[in-house]
A and B are shown apart, each in its own frame.
Chain A
Amino acid sequence: MAIPALFAALGVECVAIANSASRQTGADTQMMWWIGILSIFVPAAIALLFARVSRIEAISVLLTVGVALYLVKILFAPGMMWGYDELLHYRTLDSILRGHHLFTTNSLLRVSPFYPGLETVTAVIIQLTGLSPIQAAGLVIAATRLLTVTSLFLVFERLASPSRLAAVATLLYMACPSFLYFDAMYAYESLALPLAFACIFALRTAQREDGRLRRSLNGAGALLLLAVVVTHHVTSFILVGTLVAWSLAEFVRETRRESEQEGSQEAGGGLMRWRTRLRNLPGNGWVPLLGIVAVLGWLTTVAEITVAYLLPQLMSGVAELIRIIRHEGTSRKLFESTGGHGAAMLERVVGIGSVLAILLLIPLGMLYLRKRRPLSVLGALFTFGSLAYPATLALRFTKSGWQVGARLTAFIYAPLAFVMAAGIASFSTRKTRFPRLNALVITLVVALIFAGGIIAGTSPMTRQPAPYDPGITSVPYDSESFAAASWVAKTLPSEGRFAADSAEGALIGSVGRQWQLSSEDSVSVSALLLAPTVGDRERAIISQGRVGYVLADQRIIGTPPLKGFIYEKWERMEYDYGSSVGSETINKFDSLHEASRVFDSGNIQIFDLSRLLP
Chain B
Amino acid sequence: MTRNRAIFLIATATAIAGVVLLLAEQGPVWLRVLFGLPFVLLLPGHALMLLVDPSERLGRAEWFALSLGASISITIFAGMALATTTFGLNASGMILLLTLLTLALSFAARAKTSAELLEEAPPARRNPELRAVANTLVLMTCVLLVLMAMTSGVGADGRGSIVQLWGVPAKSGGVRIGANNINAPSDSYRVVIEQEGRLISQQEFNMPAGGSRVFEIKKTATFTTRSPITATLADLRGEVATRTVSVWMNR
How far, in angstroms, from A202 to B67 measured CA to CA in the complex?
11
Which residues A82-100 have CB closer than 8 A to chain B? Answer: 96, 99-100
Which residues A56-85 have CB closer than 8 A to chain B? Answer: 56-57, 59-61, 63-64, 67-68, 71, 74-75, 78-79
Q: A128-B21, A227-B77 are in contact. Are A1 and B88 (CB under 8 A)?
A: no
| Stretch among B4-12, B132-140, B196-204 lining the A interface | B132-140
Contact B136 A64 (CB under 8 A): yes
Contact B132 A56 (CB under 8 A): yes
Pick the contact of B245: A128, A492, A601, A611 (CB < 8 A).
A601
Using Cβ atoms and an 8 Å threshold, which residues of chain B touch A19? 154
- Rounded to whole Å, the gap between the CB of B192 and the closest CB of chain A is 14
- Rounded to whole Å, the gap between the CB of A54 and the closest CB of chain B is 5
Q: B79-118 toward A: CB 8 Å interface, digit per residue (1/0)?
A: 1100110011111001100000000000000000000000
Contact A54 B129 (CB under 8 A): yes
Pick the contact of B166: A8, A16, A600 (CB < 8 A).
A600
A102 at the binding interface (Cβ < 8 Å) = yes
Using Cβ atoms and an 8 Å threshold, which residues of chain B touch A226? 73, 77
- Rounded to whole Å, the gap between the CB of B200 and the closest CB of chain A is 16
Contact A143 B68 (CB under 8 A): yes
How far, in angstroms, from A6 to B248 measured CA to CA in the complex?
57
Q: A456-498 toward B: CB 8 Å interface, digit per residue (1/0)?
A: 0000000001010000000001111011100100011000000
B243 at the binding interface (Cβ < 8 Å) = yes
Contact B246 A151 (CB under 8 A): no
Contact A201 B51 (CB under 8 A): no
How far, in angstroms, from A345 to B246 measured CA to CA in the complex?
47
Using Cβ atoms and an 8 Å threshold, which residues of chain A touch B3? none
Which residues A163-199 have CB closer than 8 A to chain B? Answer: 191, 194-195, 198-199
Which residues B133-182 have CB closer than 8 A to chain A? Answer: 133, 135-140, 142-143, 146-147, 150-151, 153-155, 157-168, 180, 182
Using Cβ atoms and an 8 Å threshold, which residues of chain B touch A538? none
Q: A2-B136, A596-B250, A596-B251 are in contact. Are A121 and B40 (CB under 8 A)?
A: yes
How far, in angstroms, from A54 to B150 measured CA to CA in the complex?
33
- Rounded to whole Å, the gap between the CB of A60 and the closest CB of chain B is 4
Using Cβ atoms and an 8 Å threshold, which residues of chain B touch A195? 69, 72-73
Pick the contact of A61: B32, B49, B136, B243 (CB < 8 A).
B136
A46 at the binding interface (Cβ < 8 Å) = no
Using Cβ atoms and an 8 Å threshold, which residues of chain A touch B153? 16, 20
How far, in angstroms, from A122 to B51 measured CA to CA in the complex?
26
Closest Cβ neighbor of B130 among chain A residues = A56
Using Cβ atoms and an 8 Å threshold, which residues of chain A touch B36? 125, 128-129
How far, in angstroms, from A450 to B209 measured CA to CA in the complex?
44
A613 at the binding interface (Cβ < 8 Å) = no
Q: A79-B151, A154-B62 are in contact. Are A120 and B140 (CB under 8 A)?
A: no
Contact A79 B140 (CB under 8 A): no
Closest Cβ neighbor of A25 among chain B residues = B158
- Rounded to whole Å, the gap between the CB of B54 and the closest CB of chain A is 8
Q: A1-B135, A483-B180 are in contact. Are A223 and B73 (CB under 8 A)?
A: yes
- Rounded to whole Å, the gap between the CB of B22 and the closest CB of chain A is 10
| Stretch among A212-220, A264-272, A394-402, A571-579 lining the B interface | A212-220
Using Cβ atoms and an 8 Å threshold, which residues of chain B touch A99? 88
B224 at the binding interface (Cβ < 8 Å) = no
Pick the contact of B129: A56, A120, A602, A608 (CB < 8 A).
A56
Closest Cβ neighbor of A5 among chain B residues = B139
How far, in angstroms, from A137 to B133 measured CA to CA in the complex?
27
How far, in angstroms, from A391 to B248 measured CA to CA in the complex?
57
Q: B37-79 toward A: CB 8 Å interface, digit per residue (1/0)?
A: 1011100000011011111011011101110111011111111
Q: A9-B142, A195-B73 are in contact. Are A479 and B91 (CB under 8 A)?
A: no
Main secondary structure on B side of the interface with A: helix
B16 at the binding interface (Cβ < 8 Å) = no
Pick the contact of B75: A56, A121, A147, A602 (CB < 8 A).
A121
Closest Cβ neighbor of A199 among chain B residues = B69
Using Cβ atoms and an 8 Å threshold, which residues of chain B touch A101? 83-84, 88-89
A531 at the binding interface (Cβ < 8 Å) = no
Using Cβ atoms and an 8 Å threshold, which residues of chain A touch B129? 54, 56-57
Contact A483 B94 (CB under 8 A): no
Which residues A231-265 have CB closer than 8 A to chain B? Answer: 231
Which residues A566-614 have CB closer than 8 A to chain B? Answer: 593-603, 608, 611
Contact A143 B72 (CB under 8 A): yes
Using Cβ atoms and an 8 Å threshold, which residues of chain B touch A123? 79, 89
Pick the contact of A9: B27, B78, B146 (CB < 8 A).
B146
A146 at the binding interface (Cβ < 8 Å) = yes
Using Cβ atoms and an 8 Å threshold, which residues of chain B touch A54? 129, 132
Contact A216 B167 (CB under 8 A): no
Contact A131 B164 (CB under 8 A): no
How far, in angstroms, from A368 to B117 measured CA to CA in the complex?
45
Contact B133 A56 (CB under 8 A): yes
How far, in angstroms, from A477 to B84 measured CA to CA in the complex?
35
B19 at the binding interface (Cβ < 8 Å) = no
- Rounded to whole Å, the gap between the CB of A315 and the closest CB of chain B is 31
How far, in angstroms, from A8 to B180 measured CA to CA in the complex?
41
Closest Cβ neighbor of A153 among chain B residues = B61
Which residues A107-152 have CB closer than 8 A to chain B? Answer: 116-117, 120-121, 123-125, 127-131, 139, 143-144, 146-147, 150-151
A521 at the binding interface (Cβ < 8 Å) = no
Contact A198 B65 (CB under 8 A): yes
Pick the contact of A598: B65, B88, B135, B247 (CB < 8 A).
B247
A205 at the binding interface (Cβ < 8 Å) = yes
B15 at the binding interface (Cβ < 8 Å) = no
Pick the contact of A1: B76, B136, B164 (CB < 8 A).
B136
Q: B190-230 toward A: CB 8 Å interface, digit per residue (1/0)?
A: 00000000000000000000000000000000000000000
B33 at the binding interface (Cβ < 8 Å) = yes
- 10 additional contacts, CB 8 Å, given A5-B143, A20-B154, A608-B249? A1-B132, A74-B151, A79-B155, A124-B78, A129-B33, A139-B37, A147-B72, A223-B48, A227-B72, A602-B245
Nearest 10 A-B pairs (CB), nearest first? A100-B88, A5-B139, A227-B73, A198-B69, A24-B158, A120-B79, A16-B150, A216-B52, A129-B36, A128-B36
Can you give 21 contacting A-B residue pairs, CB < 8 Å? A1-B136, A2-B138, A12-B143, A16-B146, A23-B159, A24-B158, A56-B127, A57-B132, A63-B136, A78-B155, A128-B95, A130-B29, A131-B33, A143-B68, A150-B65, A198-B66, A224-B70, A227-B76, A478-B160, A599-B166, A601-B165
Chain A contact residues, CB within 8 Å of chain B: 1-2, 5-6, 8-9, 12-13, 16, 19-20, 23-24, 54-57, 59-61, 63-64, 67-68, 71, 74-75, 78-79, 96, 99-102, 116-117, 120-121, 123-125, 127-131, 139, 143-144, 146-147, 150-151, 153-154, 191, 194-195, 198-199, 201-202, 205, 209, 212-213, 216-217, 219-220, 223-224, 226-227, 230-231, 465, 467, 477-480, 482-484, 487, 491-492, 593-603, 608, 611
Chain B contact residues, CB within 8 Å of chain A: 21, 27, 29, 32-33, 36-37, 39-41, 48-49, 51-55, 57-58, 60-62, 64-66, 68-70, 72-80, 83-84, 87-91, 94-95, 127, 129, 132-133, 135-140, 142-143, 146-147, 150-151, 153-155, 157-168, 180, 182-183, 242-243, 245-251
